[in-house]
Amino acid sequence: MAKYLLFVVLLFFTGWCKRHSQDPPVAKVGNAVLYKSDLARLIQPGLTLSDSTMMARSIIDKWVRKQLIMQQALLNLTDAEKNVEKELEEYRTSLIIYKYEQKYIQERLDTIVTEEEMQQYYNDNLQSFILPVSVAKVQFVQLPLQVKPDLLRGWLLQANEESVKKIEEFCYQVAVKYEYFGDRWVSFDNIKMLFPYSLVPSEQNLISNKLYEVSDTAYRYMLYLREVKSKGTQSPYEFVRDNIRNIIILKRKQKLVNDLENNIYLDALNKNKFTIYE
C-alpha cells in the first residue's frame, strides 16, 4: 500500500513538473495561477515585441487585481452570499434563450422595408415624431476674405437648380469649403460645427436670417437656410426616415420572438409536455 501511495505521489509530482516546465506560471495570487499559455491566448497576434511586452504587463496587472479583489470578497462574504449557483443558472438560461432567439430571427427576419410602409408608419404615429432639436436644409460656403461674395450671395438666395450649379462651379474654383446637403435635414448642432468655435452662431441668429454671414480675419462664412423646422414642432419625414425603418424592423423582431414563444407554448400544451400544480 505504501509503495502504491508513493507511486501515485511520484506520478503527480512528475506531471506537475512537466506542466510547469512546458507552461511556466507568470503570476500567482493565493491558489490562483496565471500560466504562460493563458497569457499567450490574450495577447493579440502581430504585435511588436515592445507592444507585446506592454500588453502582457497590462494583462498580468489586471489579472492580479481581479484575483486580489476576488479573494477579499471570499473572505468578507457569507456562505449564502457566495452561493451564486442560482444566479449562474438563471444567466445560463437567459443566455441560451437569447442565442436561440437571435438564430431564429436571423433565419426568418425580412429586412426589406418599403417606402410606403415607412410613410404609413410615420402618418400613423405623427405624435411620436416631434423634433428634439431644430433642423434645416442648408448650403454653407467658406470663402477667403478677399473674394467678393456678391455673385455668390445672389445665387444662394435664388435657390434653384441653375443657381446650385453656378454655386458649385464658383466654389470649386475659390471656396475653402462648400457643403450642400441637398434635401437632407441637418440638426442645428451639426450646422454650428461648420463654423469656427469663436464664431458659432446662436440658434436665434440662424432662425432669424435666411442668409447668415459672419467673418474673421481670414475667411467669410455664408450659410443659406432654405427651410427651417424648429425644436418641438412636427419632425419632417425625411429626418426620421432611417429611425422609422429601424423601428419597423425591431417590431418584426419582437413579433418573431413572441410568435416563437406562443407557438412553443401551444404545441407543448397540446402535447401535454408540462404540468402546472395547484
Return the minimum-mean-pLDDT range out of 4-18, 67-81, 175-189, 203-217: 4-18
Query: pLDDT > 70: what percent of the chain?
Result: 92
CB neighbours (10 Å) of residue 45? 6
Q: Is the pLDDT of residue 181 over 50?
A: yes
C-alpha cell at 211: 442668409
Query: pLDDT > 90: what percent of the chain?
Result: 64
C-alpha cell at 55: 500588453
In angstroms, the CA 24 to CA 37 distance is: 8
Write the DSSP string, 40-52: HHHSPTT--HHHH
The domains of the chain are located at 23-77, 84-129+238-270, 131-229
Using DSSP, state whether 33 is helix, strand or coil.
strand
In the prediction, which pLDDT does 127 show?
A: 94
Per-residue pLDDT band at 161 (split at 50, 70, 90): confident
pTM as predicted: 0.71
* Greater model confidence, 184 or 49: 184
Q: Is the pLDDT of residue 7 over 60?
A: no
CB neighbours (10 Å) of residue 181? 15
In the prediction, which pLDDT does 44 show?
A: 79
Tell me the mean pLDDT in the region 78-101.
93
CATH architecture of the domain with residue range 131-229: Roll (3.10)
In the prediction, which pLDDT does 39 show?
A: 86
In the prediction, which pLDDT does 222 show?
A: 94
Return the minimum-mean-pLDDT range out of 4-18, 29-43, 187-201, 245-259: 4-18
pLDDT tens digits, 43-63: 878 888 888 888 889 999 999
